[in-house]
């Protein structure tokens, strides 16, 4: 490995890498402390809200003309089916906290957990 | 010399396309944007061995061709914004000349993710703050891997 880094720059490199890792850790911690269970799953297509479903009621909802299937159970929401080739949105798993989002890029569709009554403020990062 | 430069650039683009294809065969862990960025190897190499204009040309042509060949309609905007932000960052850092190509590649990887996140936010109003930590982490780790290999390539391959 010697000579791989130009030596005078090695320290600067390590500082940059360490700083980025610390930033990632700090952000993760802030988000974890600030999270709270949300009240509803808000569905957006092309950035416009098309549907809202309470997380308190279990249900299965076809979205966007059936391109994706939204399932809500025990306060969690996830997409069980999608007609896109990569199925990334299905693999993204279950969401339950305010601000968490499932994204389906091919169908330009997002599902976001938001607070029960509040409109406007989507998410607050706690200290 | 000009013919050689054109040939080398064409080979770099071809290599970047193959690397993008290889990467598309690696199963995704389920979070958009978490990937190795193999094609960035070629871009970092080109930046150090050919020059910033060549690196920019290779990167942007690669993005365009990849979205034609393997992508869907929506992928071009995301890849292009990621690639452009990453390129600008890496070119400026190289000019600054305080970091080696490992850290340049790391920041390039992180900026690539940042560009995609910004585009997702702009296009869909998606709440992207949740992805930041995991994308920062994955961008950094992938950037270190790509950067170390790039450093070896830059050192060994003289054009």
Please report, in tens digits, the pLDDT of each residue of chain A (127 residues total). 555 555 678 889 999 999 999 999 999 898 888 778 888 999 999 888 999 999 999 999 999 888 999 999 998 999 999 998 878 888 888 998 888 888 888 888 989 888 764 444 444 454 4
DSSP state of B30: S
Per DSSP (E only), the strands in A17-95 are 40-45, 48-54, 59-63, 68-73, 76-82
DSSP state of A49: E
Higher pLDDT, B13 or B124: B13
Q: How far is A65 from chain B (nearest CA, A)?
A: 18
Say whether B130 and A101 touch across the interface (CB within 8 A): yes
Q: Looking at residue B12, what is its pLDDT?
A: 95
Beta bridge partners of A117: none
Q: How far is B153 from chain A (nearest CA, A)?
A: 10
**CB proximity B132 to A under 8 Å:** yes
Say whether A20 and B126 touch across the interface (CB within 8 A): no
Among residues A95, A120, A108, the alpha carbon closest in space to that of A36 is found at: A95
DSSP string across B75-98: HHHHHHHHHHHHHHHHHHHHHHTS
Domains parsed from chain B with CATH numbers: 2-156 (1.10.1760.20)
The predicted model gives B9-37 an average pLDDT of 85
Half-sphere exposure of A126 (CA within 13 A, CB side): 9
CA closest to A13 among chain B residues: B103
What is the sign, positive or negative, of the torsion defined by CA atoms of B39, B78, A102, A104? Answer: negative
Element (H, E) at B2: helix B2-24
Higher pLDDT, A64 or B1: A64
Higher pLDDT, B2 or B85: B85
Q: Which fold has domain A40-114?
A: mini-chromosome maintenance (MCM) complex, domain 2 (2.60.320)
pLDDT tens per residue, range B100-124 = 989 999 999 999 999 988 888 887 6
**CB proximity B74 to A under 8 Å:** yes
Q: Looking at residue A4, what is its pLDDT?
A: 54
Q: Looking at residue A1, what is its pLDDT?
A: 52
Cβ-based contacts under 8 A for chains A and B: 111
Q: Looking at residue A119, what is its pLDDT?
A: 40
Say whether A12 and B99 touch across the interface (CB within 8 A): yes
The predicted model gives B11-29 an average pLDDT of 88
Helix (H, G, I), strand (E, B) or coil at B42: helix
Least confident stretch, B40-49, B98-107, B118-127? B118-127
Beta bridge partners of A101: A112
Selecting from B31, B100, B127 the residue whose C-beta is nearest the C-beta of A13 gives B100
Selecting from A3, A9, A17 the residue whose C-beta is nearest the C-beta of B144 gives A17
Least confident stretch, A77-81, A115-119, B128-132, B140-144? A115-119
Distance separating alpha carbons of residues B34 and B139, to the nearest angstrom? 7
- Contact by Cβ (8 Å): A97, A37: yes
Is the confidence at residue B45, as pLDDT, over 60? Answer: yes
pLDDT-above-70 percentage for chain B: 92
Contact residues, chain B, for A6 at CB < 8 Å: 100
Q: Looking at residue B77, what is its pLDDT?
A: 87
Q: Is A120 exposed, middle or buried (0-12, 13-18, 19+ CB in 10 A)?
A: exposed
Q: How far is A67 from chain B (nearest CA, A)?
A: 16
Q: Residue A64 — left, alpha, or beta (φ > 0 → left; ψ -120 to 50 → alpha)?
A: left
Distance separating alpha carbons of residues A100 and A116, to the nearest angstrom? 14
Q: Looking at residue B127, what is its pLDDT?
A: 64
Say whether B30 and A27 touch across the interface (CB within 8 A): no
**CB proximity B27 to A under 8 Å:** no
């Amino acid at each position: 490995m010697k000579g791989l880094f130009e030596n005078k720059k090695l320290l600067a490199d390590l500082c940059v890498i360490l700083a980025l890792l610390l930033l990632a850790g700090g952000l993760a911690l802030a988000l974890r402390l600030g999270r709270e269970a949300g009240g509803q799953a808000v569905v957006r297509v092309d950035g416009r809200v098309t549907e809202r479903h309470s997380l308190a009621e279990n249900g299965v909802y076809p979205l966007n003309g059936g391109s994706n299937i939204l399932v809500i159970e025990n306060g969690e929401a996830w997409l069980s089916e999608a007609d896109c080739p990569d199925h990334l949105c299905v693999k993204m798993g279950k969401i339950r906290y305010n601000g968490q989002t499932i994204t389906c890029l091919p169908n330009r569709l997002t599902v976001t957990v938001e607070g029960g009554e509040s409109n406007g403020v989507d998410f607050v990062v706690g200290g | 010399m000009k013919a050689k430069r054109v040939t080398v650039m064409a080979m770099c683009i071809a290599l970047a396309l193959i690397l993008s294809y290889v990467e598309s065969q690696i199963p995704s862990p389920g979070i958009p944007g978490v990937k190795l960025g193999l094609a960035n190897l070629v871009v970092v190499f080109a930046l150090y061995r050919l020059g910033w204009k060549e690196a920019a040309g290779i990167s942007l042509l690669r993005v365009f061709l990849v979205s034609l060949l393997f992508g869907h309609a929506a992928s071009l905007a995301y890849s292009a914004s990621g690639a452009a932000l990453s390129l600008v960052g890496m070119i400026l850092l190289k000019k600054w000349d305080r970091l080696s190509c490992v850290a340049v590649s790391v920041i390039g990887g992180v900026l690539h993710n940042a560009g995609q996140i910004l585009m997702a936010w702009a296009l869909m109003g998606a709440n992207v703050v949740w992805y930041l930590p995991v994308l920062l982490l994955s961008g950094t780790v992938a950037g270190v891997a790509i950067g170390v290999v790039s450093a070896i390539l830059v050192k060994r391959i003289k054009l």
